[in-house]
Structure 1
Amino acid sequence: MTDRVTLSERAGVRCESACWAGRAVFAKTLVFDDPDTRARFEHEGSVAASVRHPLVVSPLAVARDALLFPLIGGVTLRERLDGGPLGADEATLVAGGVLAAVTALHACGVTHHDLKPENVMLDGGRAAFDAVRVIDFGMSHSVKLPLDIHSGTRMGTPHFMAPEQFLGVRGDPRSDLYSLGVLLFDCLAGEPPFEDAFGWLAGLSDLRAPLPGPEALHGLLTRCLTRDRTQRPASATALYTDLSDARGALGLPALPDLEDWAGECR
């Protein structure tokens, strides 16, 4: 690799921008080789490489001590939201793009477990369906791996993790649908729904900010944000349909056909 620029270093992994094989890449390099750090590093690489989809950032190359990803020119969704919330059109397009990616992940047996604006890149900074790029599989669960190194842990970002995830439940796709609901809420309101995230997760508080955006989206948000996962949409595909229907009720064009955005399992 050439033209390496260090962006960050934490938890034994250095992140850099660089040039590799004639293209710009985002490189993760293992710099602290203890067994736990290596296990987490290899886990992320294995899960990220198991799915190919236009809206999922999978590695270009996987080596013993390095993961090379395409460098996305743009901003994170969080950086975009720092400038203010999105309108219903852009918010539902971004959520639709994330859902298309999540549908592909779930079809390959992967639950992301850390969907949040920081883990959604917007190519070119556009708040659009085809600009979405889902990143960071460090907390993900895959049914194809013989060992889940995070089994039983409370891993996740409190404002975006599902209540059952807080209790150590792993690998339930409905946890991602909860996080998608929080992400859509954040897009519309500029902040997540539960100020006291730990109180909500622990069942000590039910205080939620008022539902943002047009009423046509409120039923969908309510179903996603319920503590009872059996009351959430049955699948990412079902939620995608609900979101597309809600756009129709708002006089907006339907989301793209999911069949045109199919992924590949590896």
Structure 2
Amino acid sequence: MKGAVTTDVEAGGLRGRMYASRATSDVRPRADAPTFVLIHGIGVSHRYLVRLHHVLAGVADTISIDLPGFGSTPRPDRQLMVADQAAFIHDVLDQAGVGLRVLVGHSMGAQFVLEAALQRPEQVPHVVLMGPVVDVRRRTLPRQILALTKDALLHETPGSNALVFSDYLRCGPLWYLKELRVMMNYRTEERIRGLTTPVMILRGASDPIATGEWCRILARRAPAGTLVEVPGCGHVVQHTGTAQVADAITGFTGLPGSGAPEQTVNRQ
């Protein structure tokens, strides 16, 4: 990632990769300001988070992590549960000296950051779930494949599809399928009930994977939940609607705006 410091990281016998950028704003963040931490979903890597990473790094220190088994990181020798990846995120951030951390996860990454916020609520002042999975009414593999296909064909750009599907190839079918079972079995709609941290559910308004009704269910079940929709975007909203997503996140966390032109979002 251009301009980011890349570090191989290890915790609990698992290895990943961290991409860290210092805030580039002329106004330096406070010493106690939180760091944005971006977490990818199943089968992919930091690459489809790069646009959002660079915009957020304009206002605060920002880190993207390639989790064990994804991107070009080594495949673990065992299946990893959501709680395992959540613990890994905290452990490598601790090693890097990160204090408060705003966790931003996409798709299955939303499960990882939700679980991480439950593990250490005192270190997570805000959490953002982008395109969260798995819709309680569509928890079958055929329905997920259908929604993914519809999103790729109708609501994504050639660029976002290229990033996602090339990363799927790098991940490989064995590890993808092993972690897919974990994703399908995780009960986001139940786990979010215990979240005391303020949470923003963020989706592309045309996303057929994280549907509007599903995201409204999550926002209602969270003790402190809000829903934001970005018009004209599908599942990979952070890549196709970067400015809107960044402004929603900075507004939610109370940090200065990204400096991008005013964008339209629907807040509920």
Same fold judged by TM-score > 0.5?
no
Asked which structure has the greater CA Rg, the reply is 1
Which structure dedicates a bigger proportion of its chain to helix? 2
TM-score when normalising by structure 1: 0.31
TM-score when normalising by structure 2: 0.31
